[in-house]
């Protein structure tokens, strides 16, 4: 038995452990079946050695997410894929559910809130006229010539009532979102598709809600978990960074330490990236932040210990 056969020999049993959970969730979306999706998952694991080397629980979680979003793993459709990614902290390959641009569009229309949705890239040699959030824009281009560099992306959705909902995203925002992404290689390889996916994620927040909207929101959550935050998350990061930089300018370590302690782990990961990779702080600013965290924690140790003692006394 070769290395790949060893890696994949137990996957049918491991995948079938989650059948009850998958089936229970799939009853809500009624878009996928265990019989089909379990086989698609096993086939993918048997064909891809890196995928077969992923930790079992990440594979199981990814397959369960298929039931939650209601998108098939059928490679002929190209809606969703199981993708191996190396986690530097865990020192292991982890399986991610990757939802394609086509898959996100399918979920959006399946919700029933919109009749159709499309996203298009705007290039420097195109003629694009924005007419407001409720009117279809004019976009003229020469599809077979040199359209130039990408300068933005837009999304048009048509509701069941016949109204248009338009969202636009300039290149500056696309760059910011890419800077926050966990999947830089994917952005480099398919920049237009990733930009389209980004604008649809943001636009979806303004679409009418239906009984099936939870599937779309779950899909966006899955995309954010595997690929990185959307623009609203980035805007929040900018606010956090501004507060920290203001504290640094005022030489206020308590303020900086408090702001940092109130951020989530994922926000800290994004904020701490090098500036060349979308981060916010210089090396000197990072030194100040580290000192501020230490000072803030030290200053608040008595209060924390007092809270613990008070809690223990209340239990006696």
pLDDT in tens, 68-125: 888 999 999 999 999 998 877 777 888 989 888 888 889 888 888 789 999 999 999 9
Nearest CA to 62 out of 1, 111, 7, 21 is that of 21
Q: Which has more confidence, 81 or 213? A: 81
What span, in angstroms and rounded, lies between the C-alpha atoms of 98 and 225?
10
Task: With respect to residue 266, please indicate whether it lies within any of the assigned structural domains.
Answer: yes
The structure tokens 């998350």 sit at: 233
124 and 212 part of one domain: yes
Task: With respect to residue 49, please indicate whether it lies within any of the assigned structural domains.
Answer: yes
Task: With respect to residue 148, please indicate whether it lies within any of the assigned structural domains.
Answer: yes
Domain that holds residue 281: 233-315
Q: Is the pTM of this model over 0.85?
A: no
175 and 125 part of one domain: yes
Task: With respect to residue 107, please indicate whether it lies within any of the assigned structural domains.
Answer: yes
User: Collapsing DSSP states into helix, strand and coil, what is residue 36?
Assistant: helix
For CA atoms 209, 112, 61, 178, give the dihedral sign.
negative
What span, in angstroms and rounded, lies between the C-alpha atoms of 56 and 15?
8
The structure tokens 């979308």 sit at: 278
94 and 117 part of one domain: no
What span, in angstroms and rounded, lies between the C-alpha atoms of 7 and 10?
7
pLDDT attached to residue 140: 95
């Amino acid at each position: 038995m070769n290395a790949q056969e060893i890696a994949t020999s137990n996957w049918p049993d491991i995948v079938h452990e989650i059948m009850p959970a998958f089936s229970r969730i799939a009853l809500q979306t009624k878009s996928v079946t265990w019989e089909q999706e379990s086989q698609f998952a096993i086939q993918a694991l048997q064909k891809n050695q890196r995928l077969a080397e992923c930790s079992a629980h990440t594979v199981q979680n990814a397959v369960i997410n298929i039931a939650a979003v209601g998108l098939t793993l059928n490679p002929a459709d190209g809606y969703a894929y199981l993708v191996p990614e190396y986690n530097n902290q865990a020192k292991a390959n982890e399986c991610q559910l990757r939802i394609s641009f086509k898959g996100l569009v399918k979920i959006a229309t399946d919700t029933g809130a919109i009749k159709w949705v499309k996203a298009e890239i705007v290039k420097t040699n195109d003629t694009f006229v924005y007419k407001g959030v409720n009117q279809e824009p004019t976009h003229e281009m020469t599809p077979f010539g040199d359209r130039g560099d990408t300068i933005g992306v837009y999304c048009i959705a048509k509701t069941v009532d016949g109204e248009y909902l338009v969202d636009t995203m300039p290149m500056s925002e696309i760059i910011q979102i890419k800077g926050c992404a966990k999947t830089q290689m994917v952005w480099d390889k398919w920049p237009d598709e990733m930009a389209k996916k980004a604008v649809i994620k943001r636009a979806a927040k303004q679409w009418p809600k239906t009984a099936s909207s939870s599937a779309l929101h779950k899909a966006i959550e899955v995309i954010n978990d595997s690929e990185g935050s959307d623009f609203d998350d980035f805007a929040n990061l900018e606010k956090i960074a501004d507060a920290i930089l203001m504290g640094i300018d005022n030489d206020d370590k308590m303020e900086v330490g408090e702001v940092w302690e109130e951020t989530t782990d994922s926000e800290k990961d994004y904020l701490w990236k090098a500036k060349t990779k979308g981060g916010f702080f210089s090396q000197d600013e990072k030194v100040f932040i580290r000192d501020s965290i230490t000072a803030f924690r030290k200053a608040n140790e008595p209060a924390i210990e007092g809270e613990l003692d008070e809690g223990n006394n209340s239990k006696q």
